[in-house]
Each structure stands twice: as structure tokens, then as C-alpha cells.
Amino acid sequence: MRKAMFLLAVFGCVSLLWAADPFVGTWKLNVAKSKVSDPSMMPKSEILKAEDLDNGLKCVYDGIKADGSAYQVAFSAQFDGKDYPLTAVPSVDAIAARKIDANTILLVFKKAGKEVIWPHISISKDGKTLTDRATGTLSTGQEITATWVYDKQ
């Protein structure tokens, strides 16, 4: 009986680990591996903390801009394609999210209902690297392309 209880507990823990969302955790921007079409948009440093929501994520980005000023951007969104408010970034006011598969998320940033930036976020097979590839147009009309690479902490 004791062995059966032990095995049940072990398999229960293993199944929880397998079910864990690979996006959840703390990620550090790898500036050397990241590329942005406008170098002034590349932070000096950035930490992303992603927390699990039921069928969604809460994300908090803390960083230092290229000019040395600190910033924080936070949002929560379900993977249902609906708009959720985003107030910390002047060029966008809403975000919609969809999970494509276990390791891929598609985000859509919007301003006044218009889609402006499309981040495509993926986790490497080993779970150690998060890559955010984004394209879009800023409120100034400037087109951007970016690849931000984060290492799991």
C-alpha cells in the first residue's frame, strides 16, 4: 500500500510538471542575440516575469531603455483572441492573444481598434530560450521589425 501511494504521488508530480506552461517563469533579455530595426528601441536590459492565468498569462517587463531610464510594462490576457487593456505603452492601448500550440503564442497589439504590431513568441524545444519576433507600425508611422531573445532564469 505504501508503494502504491508513493508511485501515485510521483506520477502526480510528474504529470504536473509535464502540464506546466513553458512560458511561465523569469526571462532575461539577451541583448547580444536580439536585433531591432531601430537601435534606439533596444533596451540596455530587461527582465520578463510571466505568470500563469487560467488559459492566459500575466506578463511584467522591467527594464532600462537605451537612454538609461527605467520602465515597466504589464498586461494580463487570456488566449481567447479578445482585446485586453494595455496602458503603459503610448503607441498601443489593447492586446489580444492566441496560443497556436504548446510553445507558440501570437499577440496582436492595437491602437484605437487598429492592429499595429504582431509579436510571434516561441519557446525553444529545450525550454531555455524565448524568442519574440515582431513586425508592425508605430504611431509615428515608423515600421519596425524586431527579434528579442530571452534566456530562462
**pLDDT tens, residue by residue, 44-86:** 999 999 999 989 999 999 999 999 999 999 999 999 999 999 9
Residue type, 104: T
Of 3.90.550.10, 1.10.10.1150, 2.40.128.20, 3.30.1360.40, which CATH number belongs to 21-152?
2.40.128.20
Q: What's the pLDDT score for residue 88?
A: 83
Q: Has residue 139 got a pLDDT over 50?
A: yes
The share of the chain scoring above pLDDT 70, in percent, equals 88
Global pTM exceeds 0.75: yes
Place of cell 482585446: 83
| Residue 3 predicted with pLDDT over 50 | no
Averaged pLDDT for residues 11-17: 37
